[in-house]
Amino acid sequence: MIWLGVGIAPDRYALILLLGALLVRRTRQFLLDWIPFLFILISYDFLRGFADNLNVRLHIQELITAEKWLFNNIVPTSFLQQTFYVAGKIQWFDILATIFYFQHFALPLTFGFLLWLGSRDRFRQFVIGILLLSYGVGYHI
């Protein structure tokens, strides 16, 4: 998937989780519990593309200023790129970082699935937390 550039988006990964629900013979319960959660999570992913059009004021300088203050006048992302990036050469840590990045949706959904298998109440708490985090982080006054 990484070599083909296919991401692990929640809609694709939901099909894998559905197969897991089929294996444990809890398909109906999975659909009832997961479809509202996945709908809201996928809608968040879809709506991110509209965010740039809603508010054209970007707040990047504040973060750069804070990073320089925290890290002795160094911007960590720029420092890391200057230190480790070699044009045209794939390093072992590039592969590791790509694998880690691809887990962005898979890991939380897998954890949610394990919670769902063990305790639907814990799963509901997890769903509320993930949705509040997803929608709350992007909120600006």
Q: What's the pLDDT at 51?
A: 65
In 55-91, alpha helices (H): 61-70, 76-84
Distance of CA 6 to the CA centre of its chain: 15
Q: Give me the DSSP letters along 3-48.
A: TTT----HHHHHHHHHHHHHHTT-HHHHHHHHHHHHHHHHHHHHHH
Asked if the model's pLDDT at residue 141 lies above 50, the reply is no
Place of tokens 């809890």: 26
Dig out the tokens for 39 from the structure: 């709908």
Give the tens place of pLDDT for each residue, 45-80. 777 677 667 766 777 889 999 999 999 999 999 999
Q: What's the pLDDT at 55?
A: 66
Report phi then psi at 44, rounded to 5: -60, -45
Confidence (pTM): 0.67
Compute the Cα dihedral for 37, 43, 48, 53 and give only its sign: negative
SS3 58: coil
Give the tens place of pLDDT for each residue, 106-133. 888 899 999 999 999 999 999 888 888 8
Q: What's the pLDDT at 123?
A: 92
Dig out the tokens for 17 from the structure: 């989780």
Q: What's the pLDDT at 140?
A: 46
Q: What is the CA radius of gyration of the chain?
A: 19
Q: How many residues does the chain have?
A: 141
